[in-house]
Every structure is written in structure tokens, then in C-alpha cells.
Amino acid sequence: EVQLVESGGGLVRPGGSLRLSCAASGFTFSDYSMNWVRQAPGKGLEWVSSISSSSIYIFYADSVKGRFTISRDNAKNSLYLQMNSLRGEDTAVYYCASGGFLEWSDYWGQGALVTVSS
Amino acid sequence: EIVLTQSPGTLSLSPGERATLSCRASQSVSSTYLAWYQQKPGQAPRLLIYGASSRATGIPDRFSGSGSGTDFTLTISRLEPEDFAVYYCQQYGDSPYTFGQGTKVEIK
């Protein structure tokens, strides 16, 4: 069974940092490009970042460029999102999902809630 | 950036009726790299359609996708009670991999 399990969410003050992790199982993680997608409360889906299977290619949304860093460790079947200089508008559920780089997202985690508030 | 505009914003229909959802792109989507997702409250999105018209594994055949270039359609031939949800289109051909704003299919 395919599983993507996010962790590391929580409450953080504006300007603070947080690191999300996503543990993958049930599929060959190293064969897949991976995404982070977020959803603000009551809003639609917003693509955040993608990383290719070997980490050679990385893309970011303009809204997070320079503040967020995506990475992966194929030996640990894990995806990460380092989030710095957090703002109120970064408050959202963050989903780890397969896909990007011409691939659709067929695997999704259940999401991790990040709340940025003083 | 490719902007995806979905219409209508809300579709009010009864079980058994046909649903037609539109997704229009601001520029051509490369080689039909267009997907549709379904999302229910409190749940992660679920892939329905990829490549504009290919059904994902386990998706019932009442769901179908069509279109190319800038105009795409998701059709649900006969709505079942479990189909009332929000539907999103996404293009994954050119970064940023944008989503449409969603269409809510609600029970009339």
C-alpha cells in the first residue's frame, strides 16, 4: 500500500522557521519526482515546489522562492520542505504528493497543518 | 505562468444527472499535461484523470476527460452521491504547475 506521511507541522510565529518531512512507502520513491502543494483554510490548491527524482531539477512558486527549500533523501525515502521567514499567508495544510516534471500526482499524503500567527 | 480558469464555480445537480466541468488555460498546455483531481472535505485530493483523458487506476468509467490546447472538460456521466465534491484541474507541463480555482459540485 502506498503511503505518504507528513510531519513537522504546527504553530510558528511570523518570521520563524519550520521543517516539514514526508515519509514514503509502498512505491519506489527514488523513481518519482515529488511535490509540495498547499491549501490555505477554505481556499483552493496551490503548487509550492517540485524536485526531480535525483534532485537535479528544482522549481518553486514565486510566493515561496528564496524562503522555502525542498530536498529529498532517496536512501531514507523522505521528502523535506524547509520553510524560513514564514508569513501569515503561509498558513495552510501542506501536502506531499508525487509528480511534477511532466508527471501527474497520483500519490498524496494526508497533509500537515502549518499555522503562522503571533 | 499558465492561468487555469474553471467554470462554473458551483454546479448544483441531482444524483443521476450529468455534470460538465470546464477548465480553460491562458495559453496552450503542453502535450495535454492536464490532470483533474477530486477533493472531499477534510481529505487529500484524489487523482481522477491525467493526460487530459486517461482515467487513473480505480476511477469509475462515469468520469471522463477531454480537450486539448486551452480547453478541457471533465464529465461525470451520472452523478453518484459520493461524487459531490470539489474538482480541480492542474497543468503539470510547465512550471509553475498551476491549479484552477476549483468547481464545487453540490446536491441540488
Min Cα distance B105 → chain A (Å) is 14
Amino acid at B6: Q
| CB–CB contact B44 A100 (8 Å) | no
CA distance linking residue A109 with residue A72, whole number of Å: 16
Q: pLDDT by residue (tens digit) across A69-94?
A: 999 999 999 999 999 999 999 999 99
Max CA distance (Å), chain A:
40
Residue B40: predicted pLDDT: 98
**What is the C-alpha R_g of chain B?**
13
Omega cis (within 30) before B8: yes
Residue A28: pLDDT band with limits 50, 70, 90: very high
Give the DSSP letter string of A9-53: -EEE-TT--EEEEEEEESS-GGGS-EEEEEE-TTS-EEEEEEE-T
Nearest by CB to A104, from B50, B88, B101: name it: B50
State mean pLDDT over A6-30. 97
The pLDDT tens digits of the residues spanning A44-70 come to 999 999 999 999 999 999 999 999 999
- Taking an 8 Å cut-off on Cβ atoms, the answer to whether B35 and A105 are in contact is yes
With an 8 Å Cβ cutoff, is A118 touching chain B?
no
- The alpha carbons of chain A give a radius of gyration, in whole angstroms, of 13
How does pLDDT run along chain B (108 residues), one tens digit per residue?
Answer: 999 999 999 999 999 999 999 999 999 997 679 999 999 999 999 999 999 999 999 999 999 999 999 999 999 999 999 999 999 999 999 999 999 999 999 999
Q: What is the pLDDT of residue A69?
A: 98
* B42 inside 8 A of chain A by CB: no
